[in-house]
Each structure stands twice: as C-alpha cells, then as structure tokens.
Amino acid sequence: MDAVLLARVQFAFTVGFHFLFPAMTLGTSLTILISESLYLIKKDEIYRKITDFLARLLGLIFVIGVATGITMEFSFGMNWSGYSRVVGDIFGPILAAEAIIAFFLEAVFIGVLIFARNKVSPKVYWLSALLVFIGSHLSAFWILAANSWMQTPAGFQIDGTGKIILSSFRQAVFNPSTMIRLFHTTMASWMTCAIMIAGIAGYYVSKGLHGETAKKMLKMGIILFAITPLLQLSTGHIHAIQVIDAQPEKAAALEGLFETTKGAPLYLAGYVDAEKEKTYGVYIPRLLSFLYNFDLDSEIKGLKEFPKEHWPPVNIVFQAYHVMVGVGMLAIFLGLLGLILLVRNKLFEATTYLFILPFLIPLPHIAHEAGWVAAEVGRQPWIIYKLMKTADAASVVVPANQIFFSLIMFTIVYSLIFAMFVLVFVRIMKKGL
C-alpha cells in the first residue's frame, strides 16, 4: 500500500483519538472553575462535591490526553519529516511555545487540583483551577495557531532552496484563521463538557441519586447546554464566512457547489458525485448566499473555478460538514428544550428527557470529529494551503510496511485504552458525587 496514504490514515486516527480528550479537558476545566468559584462565594458544600467529582473525571481524561498527545509531537518527525524539514522555522516554535507557555502550567496545576484538595487553602485551590483553565485554553490556542497556519499561512517568506522562513512571528501565530478557529473549537469543547455534565447529572436525578448535589449539577449542565450550542452557531457562521473568503475550494466542497453561483443554495442533506460534478439532496434556495453577506444574490465560487487536481475529496468533506451542522442543530434544540423545562420547574420530573440525556454524551464528539474531518480533508491535497502538497510531506526513509505495522499497533493499543477509558469513566460515574 501507499506509504503516504498509510501515514495519513495513521495521523488521522491518532489525532482523531487524541482530540476526544483535550475536547473534554477544556470544558471540564471551565466547569471546575465555575463550581469552585461558586463554592468560594456561597460556601456551599454541594459545589465542593461537584468540583471534586469533576476533578476525578479530569484526572482520567487528562492522563489519556497527555499520553496520546506525545504521539502527535513525535509523529511530525516520525511520519512527516519532509514537512518538518520545511516548516521548522514556523511550526517548531509554535509547538515549543505551547509546551513552555501553556502545557507546563496546565500539567503542574492539574496535579494540585486532583491531589491537593486537603493540602491547600480554598483560595489556592481556586487559583489552581483558574491556572488549569488558563493553561488548557492557552494550549488550545497554540495548537490551533499551528493548525490554522496550515490552512491560512502567513508571516513567512520562501528562500532560494524552497525552505519556509519566518518573517513575522505575530502574523504567523495570529494568521487569518487562528482566532475564529480557536473560538469555534473552544466552544465545541465547552459544549462537549456541558452535555457530559448534563448527561451524568441527568442519570443521577432520574435514578434519585445524590439529591440536591445532582440537581445543582444538572442545572449547571443544562444552562451550559442551552448557551453553548447557540454560541457555537455564531462562531460557526463567522468561521464559514472566513473559509469562503480564504479557502474557496474548501467552502465549495463543504456545500457541494460546482458552478460559481449568484444566489447559492444551502444543502440540508445530500450526496455529491464529484465525477459527474453534481450534488443531490434537500436544499434551501439562495440561503448560502444570504448567510454569506445577507444578500440573496451574492456570488459564491464553485469548484470549477479551480483545477480539478486541487479539489479535496468532495463528498467526504460535504458529508462530514453536514453531520457536524446536523448535530449542532439537534444540540441547539435539545439544549433549549432542557432550559425551558428548567425555567418551568419541570426538569427534575421530565423522565423521558432525563432518560435521554446520558445517551447524548457521545453526540458532541461526533460533531467535533466530523467538523475536524471537514476542515482537514477539505484542505487536501495541500498540507499547507497552496504551499506544500501532503504527498511531499511524508518521511522518505520510513517504508510502507513499517507504517502498516505501527498503524496496527496504534489500533490495538488505542482500542485497549478506549475500552479502559469507558470502563473507568462509568466506574467513576457510578461511584457518584
């Protein structure tokens, strides 16, 4: 088999697996900060119990995030040495900055959060929660800056040998898509945790477990569950406009748009046949153009504007994007439903809703994995948009059979870790608050 394809599959698998955990970490660090702040203000033991429970969960989540994150840092060198040789000037410092400025902070104070509840004063404990929140979000910032630079490269020059030379660190880090992708990803993480907390607390309340504590936690979860998908809708909207402007091929693939169109439609669901250059499905006429700049007739570029060899695999990108949007819409509906039940004081008796809640826990993960597939497959065939092809980025010295072997090993090891994660997660959940 093709070594580049194998390396891509391995990277997709390992980073897709890794991302499950940071996505939970960011949101959990937020909710810990919220409940610990409430504890400090209201001096109510209930919030302390919620924090302690979340810290136990965070311990599990963070460990797997760290462990699988090492793989990512190593794989740029192991599988993508061609890429690493060319982008060391820019990608290297961003990764190093992540470790020095963010990851240390997060890792050191997570130790305090998990192990030092009874060793430090409430104020120091709260400070640790704040620092973990800051550290984990800074970490997301740097990683997304690196990833965004591959989508919308900036702040560089190309020297005579084809090497990319950093010319402005600020421009490279704050490239045109960094901030919006940071907001969009952060909100996805907050939503992931909101639904996780609502799901766990919903289970407790429906079983009549942990009394007031579970109810407070459910309330917290539902409020976040109602807010975050709505905020995500707006970050998603702004991000989509940014992609239409900066990466029109990707934007066209997201909507399966082949012809440049004034008054382009928005598909709700469908199927793209890239061979026949046709998209089938249910759509709302002119909505894409309207959403782009609130003009029903604005022009959106179609794929045919670009050479076919620069098209991403259109149907994959289209499907992934629509799964993400679909789940997002469902989340908005379910979150608002929960809020209505809460406001009307019917939430704790809404047996069907509470029964469904725990089963929603995987839902946001599906959305962010799909969104990430849309973003990264949508970037193909480029590893760095319009600068370097993915095919030129792989390690030349690593033969296909070794990557095949490592891919099998990762599959086995990660399956084991995932099974254990679910088992321990359920165990922590059953043990209760």
Minimum distance from residue 79 beta carbon to another protein (Å): 7
**Which contiguous run of DSSP H or E holds residue 36?**
helix 3-42
**Applying CB under 8 A, which of residues 366, 408, 413, 422 lies at the interface with another protein?**
413
Q: Output the CA–CA distances (angstroms, integers) from residue 429 to 101, 199, 223, 425, in the order listed.
A: 33, 10, 21, 6
Under the binding rule (CB under 8 A), the answer on residue 101 touching another protein is yes
What amino acid is encoded at 104 in this protein? F
Under the binding rule (CB under 8 A), the answer on residue 232 touching another protein is no
Under the binding rule (CB under 8 A), the answer on residue 120 touching another protein is yes
Q: How far is CA 128 from the centre of its chain?
A: 24
Under the binding rule (CB under 8 A), the answer on residue 167 touching another protein is yes
Residue 182 near residue 16 (C-beta atoms within 8 A): no
Residue 220 near residue 325 (C-beta atoms within 8 A): no
Closer to another protein by Cβ: residue 325 or 429: 429
Under the binding rule (CB under 8 A), the answer on residue 153 touching another protein is no
Rounded-to-integer distance, Cα 200 and Cα 375, Å: 30
Q: Please identify, among the stretches 186-194, 283-291, 318-326, 420-428, the one whose residues bind another protein according to the rule CB under 8 A.
A: 420-428
Q: Please identify, among the stretches 193-201, 269-277, 349-357, 389-397, the one whose residues bind another protein according to the rule CB under 8 A.
A: 389-397
Residue 271 near residue 279 (C-beta atoms within 8 A): yes
Q: Could you please report the per-residue DSSP string of 95-124?
A: HHHIIIIIIHHHHHHHHHHHH-TTTS-HHH
Residue whose token pair is 């047996």: 351
Contacting another protein within 282-341 (CB under 8 A) = none
Under the binding rule (CB under 8 A), the answer on residue 147 touching another protein is no
Q: What is the torsion angle, in degrees rounded to the nearest 10, for the CA atoms of residue 26, residue 134, residue 128 and residue 428?
A: 0
Minimum distance from residue 422 beta carbon to another protein (Å): 12
**Applying CB under 8 A, which of residues 43, 85, 310, 386 lies at the interface with another protein?**
85
CB atoms within 10 A of CB 121: 8
**Applying CB under 8 A, which of residues 287, 339, 391, 428 lies at the interface with another protein?**
428
Closer to another protein by Cβ: residue 78 or 191: 78
Contacting another protein within 393-412 (CB under 8 A) = 395-398, 402, 405-406, 409
Q: Please identify, among the stretches 20-28, 57-65, 193-201, 279-287, the one whose residues bind another protein according to the rule CB under 8 A.
A: 57-65
Closer to another protein by Cβ: residue 155 or 362: 155
Nearest to 237 by CA among 175, 291, 318, 178: 291
Nearest to 425 by CA among 23, 10, 57: 57
**Applying CB under 8 A, which of residues 284, 329, 343, 420 lies at the interface with another protein?**
420
Under the binding rule (CB under 8 A), the answer on residue 66 touching another protein is yes
Minimum distance from residue 12 beta carbon to another protein (Å): 17
Residue whose token pair is 């995987």: 362
DSSP code, position 152: S
Binding mask 248-287 for another protein (x = CB under 8 A): ----------------------------------------
